[in-house]
Structure 1
Amino acid sequence: MFYENKIWMANDGDEKLCMFPGMLNRHGLIAGATGTGKTITLKVLAESLSDAGVPVFLADVKGDLAGMCEPGENTEDMQKRIASFGLDREGFSFRPYPVQFWDLEGKNGLPLHTTVSEMGPLLLSRLLRLSDLQSDILQILFRIADEQNLLLIDTKDLRAMIQYVADNNAEFSAQYGNMTKQSLNAILRAVVSLESQGGENFFAEPAIDIHDWFRRDSDGRGVINILDARSSIQNPVLYSTFMLYLMSELFEQLPERGDADKPEIVFFFDEAHLLFDHASPLLEEKIGQVVKLIRSRGVGICFITQNPGDLPDEVLSQLGNRIQHALRAYTPAEKKKIRAAARSFRENPAFDTETVLSELGTGEAVISFLDEKGIPSVAQRAKILPPQSKMGTISESARKYQVSSSDLAEKYGDSFDRDSAYEFLQRKNAILAQAAAEERAQQEASKEAEKQAVKDARDREKENAKKTKRYQSAAGSIAKTAAGTVGRELGNAVGSTVGGKFGKKIGGNVGASLFRGIIGTLFGGR
């Protein structure tokens, strides 16, 4: 509850325990076992920030934060709680809060998209669960795309880029280092797997403009941006990577502003342990750096998890405001975690923090807030205030109305697919294919022309041979005819002269004629 320019979170007896808004960019932690009251604490803090004019972004992994858009119900139990805190004397009232619903899939809120290029190779490698070698190759893919002005917007752009590098592997490997086809194929398979898990909807345009989170209603209250994560939490890597991306976007896009009387926005990271599961050392280092430096951009981060030990020490040391709900210990390892959680608080001589942490009931917590000078208070056992909005979820019709009536519905309602790497490479491949086809056609035409020339030459040779043969045959006939004629004349002459005389001797005229014929045939071919 926003009270006297402070955030009244809990009571320790009659003492009001409040946060100073100016200390919220020193970050915070809400921890505790399941069912101990973390969600109520988150709602009270988010409502108070909204009343203070500070926008909020949070993830709803169970669907029970949606009720913030409707007023709370004045039940008998709530009346008792209000009276026990003295809230009835301090202007407490049930009321709705300005809420904007978002959803990675666009089903239960406005679509929350980003592009492959904006995600970057480091976070994308985590999302694709690549090895160190494959991550290095993905870095090279991004560099090639950047140098060739290829936009990587959605997953089909990324697939086209991988295929392009694979097709020209020899050229790129010579310039950037060896990129084996096995590694490229492994990255491609990871992209296809991501698409089957909703990645096609995740990487799209319009990409989120984080400045749309910095809105206030007509009363000056900060808008509570709620990411419906009931579906995306089923893919923990996708959920946590996208939340980290959003946190990084805040860090990279917001200018330096130093300390102020209140933050520009507070970012709640529910199920925060997922952020560090399977995170590489490089990624952990980046997260620690963002958490450390983002406060200068006026951004507060609140991690919500079951046990503080879920977070790396480097991150945990940056969380100045702490609300620790009950922890349960049934094993030596769990007792050790309680001991570690207790030691993260300044000791209060009035009680043993370690013992109290295992005794807390639902709605109770051990609390330590930063004072105006940034010094953490001693541990205090307290009861968390009730929220002013509805506890629990809302009807689907109410949710749809909230989404459709949003002034951002027109901006984010319809996705589009602009010209990017996939389309460019498709055109390039088409041009190359056409050029290759034309070259093949020219080569085929040249081959056909050569074949035809050879055939024509052979045909000419054959025709010439035929002409020569006909000429020789004709010449032979002429010669034979001439020789026969001359022979006959010569034979007749010789036969008449010799044969006639000789024939007459042996047979008169008949003998002479016969002998003339024989001589004529021998000499004349007759």
Structure 2
Amino acid sequence: MSDSKNGTAFLDKLAADSAKAGGPVVPHPDDTGAVGKTLFDLPGSTDLTVTVVVPKDQLHAAPAQSLVRIKSRTDGRTYLGVVTAGPFAEPDGLRGDSPMLTAVVTHGGDYLPPYHGRFQVTILGEELKDGELTPPRLRPVPNSTVFVLDDAEAGTVLKCGGDVRLGLAVGHERVEVGAPAKAKSVFPRHTAVLGTTGGGKSTTVAGLIARARAAGMAVIVLDVEGEYTVMHEPTDHKAMLAGLRDRNLPPAGVPAKDMTVYHLVGRGTANPAHPNLREFSLQFARLSPYAVMEILQFSDAQQERFLKAYDITKELMRDLNIFPAKDSADQQRLALENDEFERGYPRMMLSLLMDVVGACLSRSEKGPKEGRGKKDRDDEDDAPVAFESRTPALRTSEGKAKLATRVNAANPPGNAISWRAVLGRLARLNRMKVFHDEGGKPPMSYTHLLKPGSVSVIDLSDSGYSELNNLVIADILRGVQDAQDNAYTAFEAAKARGHAAAEPPRVLIVIEEAHEFLSEERVTKTPVLFEQVAKICKRGRKRWLGLCFVTQLPSHLPKQVLGLCNSFIIHKLKDPQVVTLLKRMVGDVDEGLWTRLPNLAAGQAIVSFPHFSRPLLVSIDPSQAKLRLTE
């Protein structure tokens, strides 16, 4: 009885003392909604990083990559930051590896001491009254309150929205990540999609293709494996369907009327059942003679003879009234202004060039003229060159005479071995049967590729040669650039006259397996071809022509190519040298994200776009459209 009275007296005295001191502690009004507070800095603290502690019940309120607002307690400044490490659980008043806790755990005890959470925040900037961020001059003081931003506010701060949706930001419930299709600072400044096999690149690219098309862009896919030839069908992949259900997204293919699959003449396609299938041939005239020499790897002697034959062919085309036509001033001007480092000679066909090389070879096999008399030499000059022509215009007596006159007037260098080598390599190109010739399949219509809201898949899965793929890619890039230049010229001319005109289409070209087309080794051997691509990259920024390079071997890409890209989608990569290279290329990615890169799950990627306030870790949306070769 005495003990009960004493206990009651103690509680009464405690209540009286508490009332005398002002009653229970009232939380500071500024702390409402806070998850934790900042700690003092330690000797190991670094610039722009702050340690935050949270009570046990708030341990999971701020997962990694969450955005937080820190209200500095005494100076009234407000900072925004991102959780870059943690949250970690720590026992109150004990070390996590203390002997007592270690003994309890190893012996199966149930004792769990009181604990709290701790995480590291990297300061993004000081928040001004108008919501803008400015580089911080100071740090939050200790015991400052920390708040987690909700999804709506986080999306506004991250500036990661756009009509070309990519996925959801990791660390937030429903923050959508995308890119604006109409911003010239994004897609026209070029994109790189990187990652090892199985990291989710194809899923990312499929979503990029479908949503860029839906946003009104003209999308051209250079598909070396035929993966994207079935995108007109909705996905039936179980894992994709489950992921789509979680995000309330329906399976959906690209409308068949807006999708065309192109394949080279004489080559098959990965999807012969596609409802909109078209064959096309290449135009030899689009290829710069210097690019042809690089691709065929001519020696110096062979280059000299090839260029000589090329010049003879141009003069012969004038004689045959092929190009420029005698009564066309525009064609005459075009012939004079043509830059052969940029493109080939208009309307020149491979078969005609081979005929000229064959004529030069036949002439060189007759040996030198010095041992013959003047009459013999004159007769030889007048005589048609004896060989079987591939061009109908050279099978007539008049055509043969014009060919002989041009060849003999040019006096090409001898050495039948070199001429035979040139002819052999050109014949190897000709045997591919992919170049446009009289009566053959028509060449690609590049204006059709530039239709807004369309997807054009160039299926190269049955080409059989990497050299052929490179020829196709070079031809497509050149043709699309020319068509886009013409569209811009017409648009600007209409504006100058005060006429209403539709703006040129916004174009995105996806280059799959880019390391095969633009490897470091290949660029060294084919500098002219690379210069053409680099020029397209530079000019495309102003003409709404964006390139998207996709590769699992970024180390094989020349640094110049990665340097042309301002947007990056980086899936799982394990090579430390590649990660080091990307650290130099991609700015503002915090070290915590780079540390996670080798262990990213399939479908996760570090995404950096120019309009973002900072790079993000993103969970990429599953593909709504069907893909071939999906595991």
Instruction: Tell me the equivalent position of 2:268.
Output: 107
Instruction: Tell me the equivalent position of 1:271.
Output: 513
- Answer yes or no: is 1:347 the counterpart of 2:588: yes
Instruction: Tell me the equivalent position of 1:386.
Output: 622
- Contact kept, 8 Å, 1:40 with 1:386, in 2: the verdict is yes
By how many angstroms is 1:350 displaced?
Answer: 6.7
By how many angstroms is 1:341 displaced?
Answer: 2.0
- Contact kept, 8 Å, 1:346 with 1:377, in 2: the verdict is no
**For the structure 1 residues 179 and 342, does the alpha-carbon distance in structure 2 shift closer, same or farther, using more than 3 Å as the test?**
farther
* Aligned equivalent of 2:455, options 218, 224, 227: 224
* Aligned equivalent of 2:286, options 105, 110, 118: 118
Q: Note the 1:235-384 alignment, pairs <5 A.
A: 235-255=465-485, 256=488, 264-277=506-519, 278=522, 279-329=525-575, 335-349=576-590, 351-353=592-594, 355-371=595-611, 377-384=613-620
- Contact kept, 8 Å, 2:593 with 2:606, in 1: the verdict is no
| SS of equivalent to 2:226 | coil
- Contact kept, 8 Å, 2:187 with 2:546, in 1: the verdict is yes
- Answer yes or no: is 1:156 the counterpart of 2:328: no
By how many angstroms is 1:263 displaced?
Answer: 5.4
| SS of equivalent to 2:417 | helix
Instruction: Tell me the equivalent position of 1:81.
Output: 243
- Contact kept, 8 Å, 2:262 with 2:280, in 1: the verdict is yes
- Contact kept, 8 Å, 2:360 with 2:412, in 1: the verdict is no
Distance in 2 (CA, whole Å) between partners of 1:366 and 1:129 is 39
Aligned length: 369
- Answer yes or no: is 1:94 the counterpart of 2:94: no
> What TM-score do you get using the length of structure 1 for normalisation?
0.63
**For the structure 1 residues 261 and 325, does the alpha-carbon distance in structure 2 shift closer, same or farther, using more than 3 Å as the test?**
farther
* Aligned equivalent of 1:10, options 167, 170, 175: 167
| SS of equivalent to 1:356 | helix
**For the structure 1 residues 363 and 176, does the alpha-carbon distance in structure 2 shift closer, same or farther, using more than 3 Å as the test?**
farther
Q: Which amino acid in the other structure matches residue 118 of structure 1?
A: R
- Answer yes or no: is 1:187 the counterpart of 2:422: yes
Distance in 2 (CA, whole Å) between partners of 1:285 and 1:119 is 13
By how many angstroms is 1:52 displaced?
Answer: 0.9
Q: Which amino acid in the other structure matches residue 361 of structure 1?
A: A
Q: Which amino acid in the other structure matches residue 182 of structure 1?
A: I
Q: Which amino acid in the other structure matches residue 238 of structure 1?
A: L
* Identity, % of aligned positions: 21
Instruction: Tell me the equivalent position of 1:473.
Output: none
By how many angstroms is 1:207 displaced?
Answer: 1.4
Distance in 1 (CA, whole Å) between partners of 2:240 and 2:407 is 67
Instruction: Tell me the equivalent position of 2:378.
Output: none
- Contact kept, 8 Å, 1:10 with 1:17, in 2: the verdict is yes
**For the structure 1 residues 54 and 247, does the alpha-carbon distance in structure 2 shift closer, same or farther, using more than 3 Å as the test?**
same
**For the structure 1 residues 48 and 132, does the alpha-carbon distance in structure 2 shift closer, same or farther, using more than 3 Å as the test?**
farther
By how many angstroms is 1:239 displaced?
Answer: 0.2
- Contact kept, 8 Å, 2:262 with 2:456, in 1: the verdict is yes
Distance in 2 (CA, whole Å) between partners of 1:384 and 1:261 is 31
Distance in 2 (CA, whole Å) between partners of 1:282 and 1:37 is 33
Distance in 2 (CA, whole Å) between partners of 1:209 and 1:240 is 19
**For the structure 1 residues 262 and 313, does the alpha-carbon distance in structure 2 shift closer, same or farther, using more than 3 Å as the test?**
farther
- Contact kept, 8 Å, 1:7 with 1:48, in 2: the verdict is yes
Instruction: Tell me the equivalent position of 1:472.
Output: none
Give the CA RMSD over aligned residues: 3.1
**For the structure 1 residues 295 and 142, does the alpha-carbon distance in structure 2 shift closer, same or farther, using more than 3 Å as the test?**
farther
**For the structure 1 residues 304 and 161, does the alpha-carbon distance in structure 2 shift closer, same or farther, using more than 3 Å as the test?**
same
**Cα deviations across residues 165-223 of structure 1 (Å, max 9, x unaligned)?**
33456885985874643222111111222344xx223444411120011235xxxxx22
**For the structure 1 residues 94 and 131, does the alpha-carbon distance in structure 2 shift closer, same or farther, using more than 3 Å as the test?**
same
- Contact kept, 8 Å, 2:192 with 2:568, in 1: the verdict is yes
- Contact kept, 8 Å, 1:307 with 1:327, in 2: the verdict is no
Distance in 1 (CA, whole Å) between partners of 2:585 and 2:161 is 29
Q: Which amino acid in the other structure matches residue 391 of structure 1?
A: L
Distance in 2 (CA, whole Å) between partners of 1:378 and 1:33 is 24
Distance in 2 (CA, whole Å) between partners of 1:284 and 1:343 is 22
**Cα deviations across residues 479-513 of structure 1 (Å, max 9, x unaligned)?**
xxxxxxxxxxxxxxxxxxxxxxxxxxxxxxxxxxx
> What TM-score do you get using the length of structure 2 for normalisation?
0.53
Instruction: Tell me the equivalent position of 1:52.
Output: 215
Distance in 1 (CA, whole Å) between partners of 2:449 and 2:409 is 45
Q: Which has the higher strand share?
A: 2
By how many angstroms is 1:163 displaced?
Answer: 1.2
Distance in 2 (CA, whole Å) between partners of 1:179 and 1:87 is 72
Which deviates the most, 292-301 or 130-139?
130-139
Distance in 1 (CA, whole Å) between partners of 2:478 and 2:585 is 27
**For the structure 1 residues 338 and 168, does the alpha-carbon distance in structure 2 shift closer, same or farther, using more than 3 Å as the test?**
same
Distance in 1 (CA, whole Å) between partners of 2:178 and 2:617 is 13
- Answer yes or no: is 1:127 the counterpart of 2:295: yes
* Aligned equivalent of 2:313, options 145, 169, 174: 145
**Cα deviations across residues 303-348 of structure 1 (Å, max 9, x unaligned)?**
111133322222211111111111133xxxxx21222123322233
Distance in 1 (CA, whole Å) between partners of 2:198 and 2:408 is 55
**For the structure 1 residues 393 and 326, does the alpha-carbon distance in structure 2 shift closer, same or farther, using more than 3 Å as the test?**
closer
By how many angstroms is 1:358 displaced?
Answer: 0.9
Q: Which amino acid in the other structure matches residue 544 of structure 2?
A: G
Q: Structure 1: 5+ residue runs without aligned partners?
A: 217-221, 330-334, 395-526
Q: Which amino acid in the other structure matches residue 72 of structure 1?
A: T
Distance in 2 (CA, whole Å) between partners of 1:136 and 1:275 is 26
Q: Which amino acid in the other structure matches residue 128 of structure 1?
A: L
Instruction: Tell me the equivalent position of 2:201.
Output: 38
Q: Which amino acid in the other structure matches residue 288 of structure 2?
A: G
Distance in 2 (CA, whole Å) between partners of 1:381 and 1:36 is 14
| SS of equivalent to 1:296 | coil
**For the structure 1 residues 352 and 48, does the alpha-carbon distance in structure 2 shift closer, same or farther, using more than 3 Å as the test?**
closer
Distance in 2 (CA, whole Å) between partners of 1:183 and 1:360 is 54
Query: Whose Rg is larger?
Result: 1
